[in-house]
Amino acid sequence: MKTLVRHRLLGWTASVMLVAALAYACKDYLVVPSQGTLDETTLSTKAGVEGTLIAAYRTLDCVDSYGHDWGCAASNWVWGNVASDDSYEGSNATDQPAIRDIELYNWGTGNADGYLNMKWRQVYEGVVRTNATLRLLKKVMTQSPGLISPSDADGIKGEAIFLRAYYHFEAWRMWKNIPYFTEDDNNYFKPNNVDPIPLILADLNTAISLLPAKPRNGEVGRATKWTATAYKGRVQIHSGDYAGGLVTLKAVQASNVYALETDFRKVWTGVHTYANGPETILAYEASANSGDANGYNANWGERLNFPNGGAFNCCGFNQPSQNLVNFFVVDDSGLPYAVTHPNWNTVGVAPWSPDTSLSAGVTAVIPVDPRLDWTVGRDFVPYKDWGVYDSIWVRDRAFSGPYSPKKNAHEKSSGAASAVGWNPTQLNSVHIHLFRYADLLLELAEAEVEAGVIDNARIIVNQIRARAGQVAQGPGTGASDIAVPMSHPTATLDSLFEPWARYKVGQYTTPWVSKPLARTYVQWERRLELAMEGQRLYDLRRWGAADTVINNYIAVEKLRRAYKLSTAIFGARHYLFPLPAIQIQLSKVGTQNTLQQNPGW
C-alpha cells in the first residue's frame, strides 16, 4: 500500500489533514503506515484530488495538526513585525519568552529555535501537501482517464505548483539556503547548497502556463495565471532582479486584473462584501463558523493580536512600536515628517514628544497620515466600531506601551467573529493578505527607480497616497460611521479634522531626480502602507538596510522599553535566520549533516 507521506525533515510524529472529510497521518521515518492512514487508493477520486489541493491551501496558516503556537501565522507577524521596528512582542514580561528572544535578536536560543522550527514545519508541510496532490493527480489521470477533465487537471496542477513555489519562497525569505523538493523526489536528504530562486521561478512559469486567467470554478480564493505572474514579479524583485521584475509587474499592471480598493478601510476588514476585493492577489481565506468546533479555520495565527481588554479579553501581543507610530506624523505639506526632519524620532527636535503616547490630544494638533488609525489602536480614538480605544485595554502598558494592532481586527458590525473555540472574540474571518496590489505597485516603483525612470515611481507612490486620502477613521458608533470622507483633495494642507486627529495626506509634487532619494521615498511609503503586515524585516534585509535601521531603532527604543536594554546588536548573521537545530539533526546521513547551518549561527 502506498501512503501519502512526509519526509523526515518535518521532525514530528503525526498529522491530520482536515478537509473534505479526509485524513491521513505518517511517521517521521517512513517505515510503516501510521494507524488511520488513508492510502492513495482511497483518495483516488476527483474529490480526493481536490481535497488534497485544498489541504495544501490550508497550510498557509497554522493548523491544529502541528501545534497552536504562533511562529507559523499566515501574516508572519513574529518574523516581519516583532523582529523589525514595527512592533514589540507585547503582552507582558512572562508570556511567550520565545517571541521576546526573537524580538531581542537572540535567535540562537532554544526558545527561538522552537519558533523557527514551527515556521520550517509549516512551509515544508505545504510543500509535502502540494507534491502529494501532484502525485495523486498523475495517478488518477493514468488509472482513470476522463475522470478529471483536462482543464481541471491543468488547473489543479497549476495551483499545486504555484503553492509549492510560494512555500519554498517563504522558506527562502527566512533562510535563503534551503532544499527544494518536487513530486518526483525520493531523496529527502537533499543539501541546502543549491540556489532555489531559479527553481521557484521555473515553478511559477509552469503555473502561469497552466492556470486560467480567472479563478477555477469561480472560487475567488484560488490561484490564477495572474496570481502566479504577480508572484513571479515579487520573487524577481526580492531576489534582486529588478529588470526582470519590472517587465513582469508592468504586465500585471497593464492587465487591469487588479486595482486599489477605493479606500483603505476596505483592505483589512471583516465585512464579507469587501472580502477578495480588487486589491487581493493572494490571501489566507480565513473562515469563522464554518463547522469546525474549535475555530481552527478562522485566524488562528492572529488570535493573540487583539487588545487584552475591551471586548476582546486577550491577549495583547504584536503591539505597534512607538517608532512606528511616530513615523505616521506628517509635516504641513502632508508628507512624512521624516522627509524634511531627519531627527523625527528624537525628543527636543520634533514638535511633539516622541517618547510618549501619541494620543488623540496630541494629534488633534500634530497632523498624521490617516493610515495611522487604520493600523494602530491608540488612546481616545475609535477602534473601528468597538468604541473609543483606551490603553487600559493593554495587558501591561509599562512593559510594552499603549498601542494595539488594528488591521487584523474585525468590525463589531461585520459578523466576522467566531462563535466557537478558545477565546472566540479573538478569532475571525478577516482574510490575511499575503500579497496585495498596493504591495505590488510599490515593488514596481522600486523597479522603476532602479531602471532610472524615477518619476514613474513618484506617480505610483502618489497613487497609493491618493487612495490613502479617501477616508479616515470615523466616530465608529455603527457600521456606517467607521469611516468619514476626507473633505478636501489630498494635496491640500488640511484634509480633515476630527476631535481625535488632524489628518493630512500630501502628494510629492516636485519630480524626483535623485535615485537615492527616490529609493528612500518608496521605502518609506512601503512602511506606511504595509505597516504591521509582516513585510518590514524582509524589506529591510533585501534593501541591505537592516543593520543600520534596526540598530538605530534599538538605540532609541531601549530608552522607552526597559526590557530592550538586553537587545543584541543586529549583525551580518541576522540577515538570515538560523536553520532549526532539529532539522539539521534530522538531515544526518551517517555522520554527516546534509543541511548546513547559515553563517554565524
pLDDT tens profile 40-97: 667 899 999 999 999 999 999 986 545 557 899 999 999 999 999 999 999 999 999 9
CATH for the stretch 300-574: 1.25.40.390
Q: Please, what's the b/e burial string for 237-250 (b: 16 or more CB within 10 A of its CB; e: otherwise)?
A: bbbebbebbbebbe
Q: Give residue limits of the domains in the chain.
A: 8-211+576-593, 300-574
- Residue 516, all three cell numbers: 537615492
Tell me the residue type at 333: S
Residue 577 identity: F
pLDDT of 348 reads 75
Q: Are 363 and 337 in contact (CB under 8 A)?
A: no
Q: Mean pLDDT, to the nearest integer, of 102-122?
A: 96
The answer to whether residues 85 and 34 touch, using CB atoms and an 8 Å cutoff, is: no
Residues 5-51 have pLDDT tens digits of 343 333 322 222 333 333 332 322 222 233 333 466 678 999 999 99
Lowest pLDDT segment from 68-77, 170-179, 397-406: 68-77
pLDDT digits (tens, 9 = 90+) for 515-571: 999 999 999 999 999 999 999 999 999 999 999 999 999 999 999 999 999 999 999
CA distance 531 to 264: 13
The 10 Å Cβ neighbour count of residue 38 is 16
Say what the pLDDT of residue 489 is.
Answer: 65
Q: Which residues contact 414 (CB under 8 A, 6 or more apart)?
A: 269, 270, 271, 272, 479
8-211+576-593 matches 300-574 in fold:
yes
Q: Determine the average pLDDT of the residues in 176-199.
A: 96
DSSP assignment of 454-482 = HHHHHHHHHHHHHHHTSEEE---SSGGGS
How far is residue 239 from each of residues 163, 173, 197, 424, measured CA to CA in Å?
Answer: 18, 9, 7, 39
Per-residue pLDDT, 361: 86
pTM value > 0.85 = yes
As a whole number, mean pLDDT of residues 363-391 equals 95
Q: Is the domain defined by 8-211+576-593 classed in CATH 1.25.40.390?
A: yes
Q: What is the pLDDT of residue 488?
A: 66
